[in-house]
């Protein structure tokens, strides 16, 4: 531990790092519920407004794997402070944007500068805490990772309904300035070790093209009917070619911009696989539950948020307990318990039905939170445990990048499956509805208006088809969580993240 970090300094540095990271993670979801309002105010279609989300996701995904290169070049503290300040500036510019094109430009900048913030926070927390307290720091970061995406849509809806949409961006400005000042002040005496690595232009260009195009395909594919769209086909081909060139080049280049050799470490490899797949499943749950509540159960966006919110309760309450006591146990066992709980909640949801009450939904969300509380910190510790101190920031960046891409794949695949399996089940159910069915005859006789009956029946069949599709997806997610227990036991102890004194600076 750095001798300059007495407890008061440690607390202040942690507050600054956590606030900035919470703000950045919050912004990945806060604009989602505000899109209709933004589209109306700026005079564009709903489809065009989704680029507010896509632009942030694309630039963020591109910037994440560059974290290792940027920290070597500028130092961790300096990069974090400047990224946070630029994030605040980009947020302000988003708030004053007068056209959709300007908003998309500023969201692109916001996503790019946000990229290094999470992995650098991870690396800095590990470096400033003594070994006995590092699990506590990672548990706190895990809480931020869980709570911020849940709070985003709720906070975004409240701000948009009661004030105006620019304020979902303006609130970042004072938080970002405060957090950057605190971190810069508390870490001003931290040792600085920087390099001037050669810029890998081939790797950088192929990364930007490959990842950028892939993210566009994942974000826009479902809206554009996937490979029936020429735009999606061409973009996917460009992405595939660029990514193949990128992988070949990075594995053979002397100074790669993204160090893929990190995967030679067994725990990093196994931990990253577990993190990416589990987070993809977790993200699918967070995406599907609010949509299902609104479409199938008729909830408003606000009430859908309230029903989803219990997920964050136990991670908040258990953060410091997990951080304090987790190192006493085999982290693979804790992670296995988390996967068992999250798998069980998925199987419970696979039996949900139209008309289920609010309490039942909220309780299952609460139970899932118990699994989440024991997931992020142990998995993060495992994947960082066999990296060298100078590899922590780069490893965190690569793992977070893959987690982000996995979440994008998950979002696209989940939406596609829910809609298309719903259509399939609609067809199967509709085959059972004939004029000769006694129940149908009775309904038509009671209603009198055959067109009204047909419309009501079609709506009921559509909802039931979506419900069956919903149940199937959660059955699959349950098995994904259980299968990851095998993966995590392929990691080998000891599981202690190493701190790098002077790994970065201001």
List CB contacts of 108: < 8 A, sequence separation 6 or more: 55, 56, 58, 59
Per residue in 362-419, pLDDT (tens digit) is: 999 999 999 988 888 889 889 888 888 778 878 888 888 888 888 878 877 887 888 8
**Per-residue pLDDT, 364:** 95
Lowest average pLDDT, out of 167-181, 280-294, 431-445, goes to 431-445
**Highest-confidence segment of 212-226, 320-334, 445-459, 489-503:** 320-334
Q: How confident is the model at residue 504 (pLDDT cuts 50, 70, 90)?
A: very low
Pick the more confident residue, 287 or 366: 366
Which architecture does CATH list for 7-199+257-418+477-488?
Up-down Bundle (1.20)
pLDDT of residue 89: 96
Interhelix angle 51-63/100-114, nearest 10 degrees: 30
Residue 389 is predicted with a pLDDT of: 79
User: What integer is the mean pLDDT of 307-334?
Assistant: 85
Q: Model confidence at 268, in pLDDT bands (50, 70, 90)?
A: very high
DSSP string covering 65-129: GGHHHHHHHH-HHHHHHHHHHHHHHHHHHHHH--SHHHHHHHHHHHHHHHTTHHHHHHHHHHHHS
- In the structure encoding, which two tokens stand for residue 187, read together? 């870490």
How many CB atoms are closer than 10 A to CB 200? 19
Q: How much is the CA Rg of the chain, to the nearest whole Å?
A: 24
Cβ–Cβ under 8 Å, residues 108 and 55: yes
Answer with the residue of higher pLDDT: 473 or 327. 473
Look up residue 4 and give its DSSP letter. Answer: T
The answer to whether 367 and 343 are in contact (CB under 8 A) is no
Task: Please state, in angstroms and as integers, the Cα–Cα distance from residue 340 to each residue in 11, 375, 448, following that order.
Answer: 34, 11, 52
Highest mean pLDDT among 188-197, 217-226, 349-358: 349-358
In this predicted structure, the answer to whether residue 3 has a pLDDT above a threshold of 60 is no
pLDDT, greater one: 106 or 393:
106
Is the pLDDT reported for residue 109 higher than 80? yes
Closest among 12, 16, 117, 18 to 319, alpha carbons compared: 18
Task: Find the mean pLDDT for residues 209-233.
Answer: 82
Tell me how far apart the alpha carbons of residues 96 and 217 are, in angstroms, rounded to a whole number.
29
| CA nearest to 384, candidates 243, 248, 496, 242 | 496
Averaged pLDDT, 258-263: 82
Of the pLDDT bands very low, low, confident and very high (cuts 50, 70, 90), residue 481 is very high
Query: Could you report the per-residue pLDDT of 119-169, keeping only the tens digit for each?
Result: 888 888 888 888 777 778 888 888 887 788 778 877 887 887 788 889 989
Phi then psi for residue 142, to 5 deg, are: -65, -40
Query: Which structure tokens are listed for 360?
Result: 């039942």
Q: What would the DSSP string read from start to end of 151-182? A: HHHHHHHHHHHHS-TTHHHHTHHHHHHHHHHH
- Name residue, tokens 């509540």: 293
- What integer pLDDT is reported at residue 216 of this predicted model? 82
CA–CA separation, 97 and 224 (whole Å): 27
pLDDT at 501: 39
pLDDT of residue 434: 64
Q: Which tokens hold the place of 190?
A: 């931290």
Q: Which pLDDT tens digit goes with each residue over 421-464?
A: 888 887 887 777 766 666 656 666 665 556 666 777 777 888 88
pLDDT band of residue 343 (cuts 50, 70, 90) is very high
Plot region of 97 (φ>0 → left; ψ -120 to 50 → alpha; else → beta): beta
Give the pLDDT confidence score for residue 502 in this predicted structure: 39
**Tens-place pLDDT, residues 21-62:** 899 888 877 877 777 788 888 888 766 777 787 788 778 888
**Residue 274: is the preceding peptide bond cis (ω within 30°)?**
no
Domain locations in the chain as residue ranges = 7-199+257-418+477-488, 200-256
Task: List phi, psi (to 5°) of 465.
Answer: -60, -45
What lies within 8 Å, CB to CB, of 368 at 6+ separation is 285, 311, 341, 342, 345
Task: Say how far apart CA 228 and CA 226 lie, in whole Å.
Answer: 6
């Amino acid at each position: 531990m750095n001798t300059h970090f007495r407890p008061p300094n440690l607390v202040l540095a942690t507050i600054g790092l956590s606030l900035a990271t919470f703000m950045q993670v919050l912004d990945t979801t806060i604009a989602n519920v505000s899109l209709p309002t933004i589209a109306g105010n700026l005079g564009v279609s709903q489809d065009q407004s989704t680029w507010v989300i896509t632009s942030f996701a694309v630039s963020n995904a591109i910037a994440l794997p560059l974290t290792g290169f940027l920290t070597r070049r500028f130092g961790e503290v300096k990069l974090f402070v400047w990224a946070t300040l630029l994030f605040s500036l980009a947020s302000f510019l988003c708030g004053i944007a007068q056209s959709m094109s300007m908003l998309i430009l500023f969201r692109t900048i916001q996503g790019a500068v946000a990229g290094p913030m999470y992995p650098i926070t991870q690396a800095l927390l590990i470096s400033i805490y003594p070994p006995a307290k590092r699990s506590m720091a990672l548990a706190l970061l895990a809480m931020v990772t869980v709570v911020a995406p849940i709070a985003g849509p709720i906070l975004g809806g409240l701000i948009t309904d009661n004030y105006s949409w620019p304020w979902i961006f303006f609130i970042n400005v004072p938080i970002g300035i405060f957090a950057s000042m605190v971190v810069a002040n508390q870490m001003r005496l931290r040792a600085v070790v920087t390099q001037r690595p050669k810029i890998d232009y081939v790797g950088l260009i192929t990364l930007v093209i490959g990842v950028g195009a892939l993210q566009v395909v994942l974000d826009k594919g479902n809206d554009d009917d996937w490979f029936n769209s020429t735009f999606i086909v061409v973009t996917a081909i460009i992405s595939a070619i660029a990514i193949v060139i990128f992988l070949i080049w990075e594995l053979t280049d002397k100074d790669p911009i993204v160090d893929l050799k990190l995967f030679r470490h067994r725990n990093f490899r196994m931990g990253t696989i577990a993190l990416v797949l589990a987070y993809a499943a977790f993200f699918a749950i967070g995406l599907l539950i609010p949509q299902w509540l609104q479409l199938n159960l008729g909830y408003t966006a606000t009430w859908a948020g309230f029903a989803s919110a219990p997920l964050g309760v136990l991670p908040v309450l258990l953060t410091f307990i997990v951080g304090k006591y987790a190192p006493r146990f085999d982290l693979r066992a804790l992670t296995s318990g988390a996967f068992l709980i999250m798998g069980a909640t998925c199987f419970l949801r696979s039996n949900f039905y139209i008309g289920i009450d609010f309490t039942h939904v909220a309780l299952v969300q609460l139970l899932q939170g118990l699994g989440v509380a024991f997931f992020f910190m142990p998995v993060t510790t495992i994947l960082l445990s066999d990296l060298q101190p100078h590899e922590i920031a780069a490893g965190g960046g690569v793992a977070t990048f893959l987690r982000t891409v996995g979440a994008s794949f998950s979002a696209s695949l989940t939406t596609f499956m829910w809609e298309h399996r719903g259509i399939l089940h609609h067809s199967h159910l509709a085959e059972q509805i004939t004029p000769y069915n006694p129940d149908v005859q009775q309904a038509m006789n009671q209603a009198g208006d055959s067109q009204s009956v047909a419309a009501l029946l079609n709506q009921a069949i559509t909802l039931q088809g979506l419900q069956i599709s919903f149940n199937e997806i959660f059955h699959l997610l349950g098995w994904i969580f259980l299968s990851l227990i095998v993966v995590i036991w392929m990691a080998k102890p000891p599981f202690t993240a190493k701190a790098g004194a002077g790994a970065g600076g201001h």
